[in-house]
């Protein structure tokens, strides 16, 4: 399955390593330094036409700055709660007892 990142860019869902909401990056110094390193070394493809990127998508081969929110991208890719790092503790408990 492919995910549309904006513009005319499609990537394979299986190649996604991380999707980072850029509004949260600035809340952590380590993340902010990581983003600065990517910017300084031009190690990304900017899809945002107006320069207002919302999400950093890191794939196996490349990185992209997308104008589309990470929430929308998660929905487009049908990545679900596990991709967001959340889980149902009760469901996990039931599965492990089977």
Comparing CA positions, the residue from 70, 95, 65, 93 lying closest to residue 83 is 70
What residues does 65 pair with on adjacent strands? 46, 56
pLDDT tens string, the chain, 98 residues long: the values are 888 998 889 999 889 888 888 888 778 888 888 888 887 877 788 887 777 889 989 888 888 999 999 888 888 877 665 454 443 444 444 444 44
In the chain, which ranges are continuous DSSP H helix?
A: 22-25, 29-40, 70-76, 80-83, 89-96
Q: Please list, in sequence order, all residues whose beta carbon lies within 8 angstroms of the beta carbon of residue 36, skipping any fewer than 6 positions away.
A: none
User: How many domains would you assign to the chain?
Assistant: 1
Domain that holds residue 70: 2-96
Q: Is 0.75 surpassed by the pTM of this model?
A: no
């Amino acid at each position: 399955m492919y995910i549309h990142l904006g513009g005319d860019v499609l990537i394979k869902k299986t190649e996604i390593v991380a999707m980072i909401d850029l509004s949260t990056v600035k809340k952590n110094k380590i993340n902010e330094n990581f983003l600065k390193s990517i910017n300084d070394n031009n190690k990304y493809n900017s899809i945002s036409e107006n320069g207002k990127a919302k999400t950093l998508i890191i794939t196996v081969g490349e990185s992209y700055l997308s104008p589309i929110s990470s929430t929308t991208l998660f929905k487009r890719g049908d990545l679900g709660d596990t991709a967001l790092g959340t889980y149902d503790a009760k469901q996990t408990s039931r599965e492990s007892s089977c």
